[in-house]
Structure 1
Amino acid sequence: MTDRQKQPPTFETLVTEAASAPTEGWDFSWFEGRATEARPSWGYAVSMAERLGRSDAVLDVQTGGGEVLDFALGKAPKRPLLAVATEGWPPNVAKATALLRPRGVAVVAALEDDPLPFADGAFDLVVSRHPVRPQWEQIARVLQPGGTYFAQHVGPGSVFELVEHFLGSQPEDVRGGRHPDRERADAEAAGLDVVELRAERLRMEFHDIGAVVHFLRKVVWMVPGFTVEAYEPQLRALHERIRAEGPFVAHSTRHLFEARKPGRPGSHS
C-alpha cells in the first residue's frame, strides 16, 4: 500500500458520500464504523414486542420507515388482531408500506400534527418511538378504557453539543423542550395515568464529518434547514477538530413513557 493510499478520506470525499446517502426510514446501519450511540437500558423494541403479544388492536404513531414495528412484530409471542401505523413523510410512508404490508399492517398517511384518523376507543395499545410531539388529547381519545400508551421519547437538550456547534448557544426554553416532567403533566391533563417514566442520558460519538452530515440530513429537526452549502464553515471546522482530537462526543437523552387510560377494558362509560 502506498503512502497516497494510506491518506484518510478528504473533507470533500466524506461530505459528498454522506450527502448522497438515502435518508428515509429509521435504519441507521449506514453509521456502522462511523458513529456510535449507547442504547437505553430498557430495550424499547423488545419491550414493545411483549406488549404487542398481549394486545388486540395496536396503533404505531409516526412509524418512520416501519423498522421498529416490524422488528417488534417479528419478536411478539402473538400477533395483534389489528395493527395500524401512521406516518407523515411521503418517502417513509412508501418505505413503511412496503415493509409492513407483508405483516398485515395498514400504513395510513397522516401528518404529525393532524388529528389521528381513527374512531374513539379504537385501540388497546398505542406505541411510538421518538414522536416529534405527542398528541396527548388524540392518544387519549383513540385508546379504549384500560388501554396503554407505551413509547420512547427524545428528551431535553438531546445531542445539543452538536446542535450548538452549528447554531450557537440555545436559550433555556429550547434546551428544556421535551422535558419528561412537562410531558407527564400534559399526559395527565389529557386524562391519562402515568405509570412509568424513566430517563437516561447516553453517549454518542461521531468518528468522521460524513457521519455528522448524514445525521443532520436524517434527523432534520436538529439543525432546521441544514445543507452542506449553508453550514460549510462549521463542517470544515468540525472536520479539522475530529482529525486532530478524535471523535466528537455528544449525548442523547431518552425517556421511556407508559401511561394508561382509566377505566375497564371494553368499557366506554
Structure 2
Amino acid sequence: MYPLHPATTDPRPVVLDRREGPYGEVVLRRRGGGPDEGAPGQDAVYEIIANGCFLMDTSDGRSERLLIRAALAALPADRPSPAVLIGGLGVGFSLAEAAAEPRWGRIAVVEREQAVIDWHRDGPLSAISAGALADPRSEIVHTDLVAYLREPGPAGTAFDALCLDIDNGPDWTVTEDNEGLYSPAGLAACKARLTPGGVLAIWSAQPSPLFEETLRNAGFTDVRTEEIAVARGVPDVVHFATRGA
C-alpha cells in the first residue's frame, strides 16, 4: 500500500460507511472538514478503502481524468459519437470527465460494488458525479468488470474506448480476481469488446514495462505509457493500446 497524499495525513479519518460485499470489505472515509462539512474541493477528502488497502481519494483526479481525455484524443477525430466503457466508478472523476465532453455518444460505467454506486447516487460522492449520472448518455452497470468483458455482448455493445481503473494496476492488485483483467485472456476479452481502431486505456499506480509487452503480445498496437506526477512519490501511469483496424 503506497503512502497517502499529503492532503490526507489527518490521523483521525472519519468512517462514513463500511460494507461487507461479495469481494470483501469496502469503506468510505473522510479526512478534514467539520461534522457538517465535507464537499470535495473544499477541505474534505474522501477515501475508498478495499479490504484494508487504500484505493483512491478525491485529493487529485488528474490521472483519472487523463484516462478519458487521452483515450478520446487517440480516436480518429471524424469518428461520430464514440462509445466509452469506464471500468470502475471509483470516486467519479473519470465519469465526470467523460460527461463533460459532448463528443462522447454513450458512456457506460461498470462497477461491482453496490456501496460505491450508493455513495455516488445518495452519498457524499454525489458532489462529483451527480451531473454526470443525470446525463442521458450515462448508465451504470452493476457487475464485475472482468466477467462483463468475457461475456459475449449483444449486438451494438462494442465500444470505441475502454478506460479501465479497477485496481492498483497489473503488478499489484488488491483483489485477486482482478488479476484476470491484465492476463492474456483478459486482454483478449478487452480487444473483442473494442471496435476496430478502438483504444484501451488502463490506469496503474506504477509503470510496468512487462505489461506493455503483454499488450503487444495480445495483438495491440501503438502501445505506450504516460506518467502523471503525483505528490506521494511514484507517478501514476496510464497504459494505452489500440486495436488494429
Structure 1 residue 183, shift from structure 2 partner:
1.3
The structure with the greater share of residues assigned to helix is: 1
CA contact (8 A) 2:85 2:161 kept: yes
CA contact (8 A) 1:147 1:261 kept: yes
AA partner of residue 145 (structure 1): P
Report the counterpart of residue 109 of structure 1 in structure 2: 142
Mapped partners of 1:41, 1:73: distance in 2: 16
Is the partner of 2:219 in helix, strand or coil? Answer: coil
List aligned pairs for 1:85-164, cutoff 5 A: 85-96=109-120, 99=130, 100-104=132-136, 105-116=138-149, 117=151, 118-119=153-154, 122-129=158-165, 131-132=167-168, 133=178, 134=181, 135-155=186-206
Mapped partners of 1:21, 1:122: distance in 2: 37
**Unpaired runs of 5+ in structure 2?**
1-9, 18-26, 31-38, 47-56, 123-129, 169-177
- Identical-pair percentage: 16
Is the partner of 1:125 in helix, strand or coil? Answer: strand
Between structure 1 and structure 2, the one with the greater Rg is 1
AA partner of residue 89 (structure 1): E
Q: Structure 2 length normalisation: TM-score? A: 0.56
List aligned pairs for 1:177-192, cutoff 5 A: 179-192=207-220
Report the counterpart of residue 69 of structure 2 in structure 1: 47
Q: 1:110 to 1:48 in 2, by over 3 A?
A: farther
Q: Which of 1 and 2 has higher RCO (CA within 8 Å, sep 6+)?
A: 1
Q: 1:194 to 1:183 in 2, by over 3 A?
A: farther
Report the counterpart of residue 207 of structure 1 in structure 2: none
Structure 1 residue 41, shift from structure 2 partner:
8.6
Structure 1 residue 80, shift from structure 2 partner:
2.1
The structure with the greater share of residues assigned to strand is: 2
Report the counterpart of residue 236 of structure 1 in structure 2: none
Q: Structure 1 length normalisation: TM-score? A: 0.52
Mapped partners of 1:49, 1:146: distance in 2: 11
Aligned length: 176
Question: Deviation per CA, 1:193-224, whole angstroms, max 9, x where unpaired?
Answer: 143213356432xxxxxxxxxxxxxxxxxxxx
Structure 1 residue 43, shift from structure 2 partner:
6.4
Mapped partners of 2:164, 2:191: distance in 1: 14
